[in-house]
């Protein structure tokens, strides 16, 4: 036998046993987004490398260490998308979607980052992202947060996530703060690790995000971003907090929250859970008012978020919150001359008469015992049994596979009987 080939580390199959839960999470999320009137956009998975380095920032974890970058056959440097915002903005500019107009968009799909695989962290993972262009005020920031809160309610995980919020101000305010931070770090060189030393001049805000406890210990004395906030950002943030309060959404302000990508300004937020161990952020987002211009478009305000679907699926799974419907409701079992086609026809009739019903016909022959075994294996709730007598009389045996009772009913009455399974 030939040697088997394995999937790439950190890139997982979604198996038939897992896909019902995935579908449930994806559909819930999509339904909530569509309840706010947003439109879907689908971007390519591969983009020019410089789109990401320009959008996300050269001195970020994603661009420095995590991108899957390769040379195309004609020498162009291409990258598997590590996130969706850059491509969404690129597409919006290229297709004239953002020019002088408002857009409320969403996307869902695989992203790629070369990280150390562990629970909740993979090399191919999936995000659902929402991006809004052309709106300035805190009202839209609040809408996005309310939308996410609704998702958690519909998924049943509201009690297990909390919202952290911050404002990182205008680009100018950040520049002033940056200078103050660099001065602070210069006075504490001895505590800094290599990463922090390298970043303190290029991207000192990212040092605030450090996981190194020694550096964390001195951060209490570091200058605070809130002291450098410009008046407009301050008002924007106050407006957002007020809206969230009247919407009944609880949050805590976390002054250290700066987010890992460079393009954010003003509002940043994260939804965090304690149910998944170290990989606690299920959703992150914020404003990025400068990005459209930075990528060559006419300046347009923008705000968005992205959530990791693996982490949501894991949460719903670990908390055991959701009953997932199996793939098959009714399994058609037949035996005898001419019954197989009668079974196929009965199934076709039911698929038409009961929208949403999942009917599977037994294929491949075999006795009743074998066929019932298959019905159990696929998780069907009922078996519909047709023998020669039933076909001749226009009846069917309806067998409840959980309880075991069975009865013979007229085929004309089966619709009423089976509707309840959907
Ligand atoms: P983290 O701090 O966990 O690395 P991040 O700040 O890099 O997250 P974002 O770039 O903001 O994450 O992406 C948004 C969301 O996508 C995250 O909150 C998380 O739920 C999910 N995510 C990010 N990276 C991964 C990954 N490698 N595997 C699975 N999910 C991920
Ligand atoms: Mg990361």
Atom index in ligand 1 nearest the CA of residue 121 equals 28
Residue 132 shares a structural domain with residue 242 = yes
Ligand 1 binding pocket mutation candidate from 306, 310, 312 (most atoms within 8 A of CB): 306
Domain with 378 in it? 330-421
Average pLDDT over the chain reads: 93
State yes or no: pLDDT of 391 exceeds 80: yes
Task: Determine contact, residues 85/304, Cβ cutoff 8 Å.
Answer: yes
Q: What is the pLDDT of residues 220-273, one digit of tens each?
A: 899 988 899 999 999 999 999 999 999 999 999 998 888 766 778 899 999 999
Tell whether 252 and 143 lie within a shared domain.
yes
Query: 84: CA distance to ligand 1 center in Å?
Result: 12
Tokens, residue 158: 């509201």
Taking the centre of ligand 2 as the mean of its atom positions, its distance from the CA of residue 1, in whole angstroms, is 40
Q: Are residues 276 and 157 in the same domain?
A: yes
165 or 422: whose pLDDT is higher?
A: 165
Q: Which atom of ligand 1 is nearest to the CA of 261?
A: 10
124 CA distance to ligand 2 middle (Å): 13
Rounded to whole angstroms, the Cα distance separating 303 from 276 reads: 27
Please indicate whether residue 236, judged by its CB atom, sits closer than 6 Å to ligand 1.
Answer: no
Whether the CB of 310 sits within 6 Å of ligand 1: yes
Q: How confident is the model at residue 135 (pLDDT cuts 50, 70, 90)?
A: very high
- Is residue 2, in this structure, part of any structural domain at all? no
Rounded CA separation 417/249 (Å) = 44
Asked if residue 177 is part of any domain, the answer here is no
pLDDT digits (tens, 9 = 90+) for 142-178: 999 999 999 999 999 999 999 999 999 988 888 889 8
3-state secondary structure of 2: coil
Distance CA(180)–CA(419), nearest Å, equals 67
How high is the pLDDT of residue 54?
Answer: 92
Handedness of CA 124, 279, 309, 255 (dihedral sign): negative
> For residue 64, is it within any domain?
yes
Query: CA 375 to CA 401: how far, in whole Å?
Result: 8
Here the tokens at position 272 are: 């965090």
The CATH number assigned to the domain holding 69 equals 3.30.930.10
pLDDT at 398 over 90: yes
Q: How far apart are CA 202 and CA 163, in angstroms?
A: 29
Q: Is 311 in the pocket of ligand 1 (CB under 6 A)?
A: yes
Q: Is the CB of 12 under 6 A from ligand 1?
A: no
Look at strands 330-335 and 382-387 and give their pairing.
Answer: parallel
Domain CATH number, residue 354:
3.40.50.800
Query: Does residue 183 lie within any of the structural domains?
Result: no
At 298-318, the pLDDT tens digits run 999 999 999 999 999 999 998
Residue with CA closest to ligand 1 atom 26 = 121
Say how many Å lie between the CA of residue 82 and the centre of ligand 1: 10
Question: Which segments of 180-257 are extended strands (E)?
Answer: 252-253
Q: Could you identify the atom of ligand 1 that is nearest to the CA of residue 279?
A: 3
Same domain, 42 and 125: yes
Q: Are residues 380 and 309 in the same domain?
A: no
Assigned domain for 6 exists: no
Q: Looking at the 3D structure of the chain, how many domains does it have? A: 2
Three state DSSP letters for 128-177: EEEEEECCCCHHHHHHHHHHHHHHHHHHCCHHHEEEEEEECCCHHHHHHH
Counting from 1 in the atom list of ligand 1, the atom nearest the Cα of 259 is 6
Burial of residue 154 (CB within 10 Å: 0-12, 13-18, 19+) is middle
Please report whether residue 285 resides in a domain. Answer: yes
Q: Are residues 384 and 344 in the same domain?
A: yes
DSSP state letter for 324 = P
The dihedral formed by the CA atoms of 135, 136, 140 and 142, expressed in degrees to the nearest 10: 170
pLDDT at 353: 94
- Among 319, 340, 363, identify where a domain stops: 319
129 C-beta closer than 6 A to ligand 1: no
Residue 227's alpha-carbon distances to 46, 180, 203, 250, 263, in angstroms, are 41, 11, 19, 24, 21
Q: What percent of the chain has pLDDT over 70?
A: 99
- Closest ligand 1 atom to Cα of 123: 27
Q: How far apart are CA 177 and CA 168, in angstroms?
A: 10
* CA 60 – ligand 2 centroid, Å: 9
Mean pLDDT to the nearest integer, 385-396 = 94
Q: Does pLDDT of 322 surpass 80?
A: no
Predicted confidence (pLDDT) at residue 204 exceeds the cutoff of 80 = yes
Are both 67 and 135 inside the same structural domain? yes
Of the given ranges (77-81, 98-102, 260-264, 356-360), which has the lowest mean pLDDT?
A: 260-264
Residue nearest to atom 30 of ligand 1 (CA): 308
Task: Residue 385: name the closest of 348, 355, 327, 340 by CA.
Answer: 340
> Which tokens belong to 264?
């954010």
Ligand 1 centroid from CA 117, angstroms: 12
Q: Does residue 52 share a domain with residue 111?
A: yes
> Final residue of a domain: which of 288, 319, 350?
319
Cβ–Cβ < 8 Å for 256, 165? no
- pTM (2 decimals)? 0.89
CA of 362 to the centre of ligand 2 (A): 47
For residue 260, the model assigns a pLDDT of 64
Nearest alpha carbon to residue 125 among 86, 68, 165? 68
For residue 261, the ligand closest to its alpha carbon is 1
Q: Atom of ligand 1 at shortest distance to CA of 122?
A: 28
Backbone angles phi, psi at 398, to 5 degrees: -105, 115
306 CB within 6 A, ligand 1: yes
pLDDT, residue 202, reads 85
pLDDT of the residue at 10? 97
Residue ID of nearest Cα to ligand 1 atom 11? 284
Q: Which of 319, 354, 370 is the last residue of a domain?
A: 319
pLDDT for residue 376 is more than 80: yes
Q: Tell whether 162 and 309 lie within a shared domain.
A: yes
- Which ligand 1 atom is nearest residue 311's CA? 20
Predicted confidence band at 326 (pLDDT cuts at 50, 70, 90)?
Answer: confident
34, part of any domain:
yes
pLDDT for the residue 320: 77
Tell whether 208 is covered by a domain: no
The H or E element spanning position 71 is: strand 68-71
Q: Judge if 307 and 380 occupy the same domain.
A: no
Strand partners, 330: 359, 382
Same domain, yes or no: 342 and 273: no
Residues 276 and 401 in one domain: no
């Amino acid at each position: 036998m030939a040697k088997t080939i394995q999937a790439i580390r950190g890139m997982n199959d979604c198996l038939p046993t897992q896909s019902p839960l995935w579908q449930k999470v994806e559909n819930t999320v999509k339904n909530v987004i569509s309840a706010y009137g947003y439109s879907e956009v689908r971007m390519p998975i591969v983009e020019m490398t410089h789109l990401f380095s320009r959008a996300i920032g050269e001195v970020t974890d994603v661009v420095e260490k995590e991108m899957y970058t390769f040379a195309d056959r004609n020498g162009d440097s291409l990258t598997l998308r590590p996130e969706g915002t850059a491509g969404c903005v690129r597409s919006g500019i290229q297709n004239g979607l953002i020019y002088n107009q408002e857009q409320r968009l969403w996307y869902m799909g695989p992203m790629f980052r070369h990280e150390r695989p562990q629970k909740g962290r993979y090399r191919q993972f999936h995000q659902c992202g929402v991006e809004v262009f052309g709106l300035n005020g805190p009202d839209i920031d609040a809408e996005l947060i309310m939308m996410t809160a609704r998702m958690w309610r519909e998924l049943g995980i509201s009690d297990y996530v909390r919202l952290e919020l911050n404002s990182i101000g205008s680009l100018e305010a950040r520049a002033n703060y940056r200078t103050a931070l660099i001065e602070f770090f210069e006075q504490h060189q001895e505590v800094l690790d290599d990463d922090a030393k390298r970043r303190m001049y290029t991207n000192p805000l990212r040092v605030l995000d450090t996981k190194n406890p020694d550096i964390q210990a001195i951060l209490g004395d570091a200058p605070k971003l809130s002291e450098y906030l410009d008046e407009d950002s301050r008002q924007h943030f106050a407006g957002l907090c007020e809206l969230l309060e009247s919407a009944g959404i609880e949050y805590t302000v976390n002054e250290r929250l700066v987010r890992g990508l460079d393009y954010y300004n003003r509002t940043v937020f994260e939804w965090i859970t304690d149910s998944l161990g170290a990989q606690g952020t299920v959703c992150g987002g914020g404003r990025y008012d400068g990005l459209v211009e930075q990528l060559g478009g006419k300046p347009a305000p923008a705000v968005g978020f992205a959530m990791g679907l693996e982490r949501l699926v894991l949460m719903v799974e670990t908390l055991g919150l959701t009953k997932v419907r199996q793939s098959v409701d009714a399994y058609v079992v037949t035996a005898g001359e001419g019954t197989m086609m009668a079974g196929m026809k009965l199934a076709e009739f039911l698929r038409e008469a009961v929208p949403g019903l999942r009917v599977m016909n037994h294929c491949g022959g075999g006795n009743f015992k074998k066929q019932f075994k298959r019905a159990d294996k696929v998780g069907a709730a009922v078996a519909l049994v047709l023998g020669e007598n039933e076909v001749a009389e226009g009846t069917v045996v309806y067998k409840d596979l959980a309880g075991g009772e069975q009865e013979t009913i007229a085929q004309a009455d089966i619709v009423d009987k089976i509707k309840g399974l959907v």
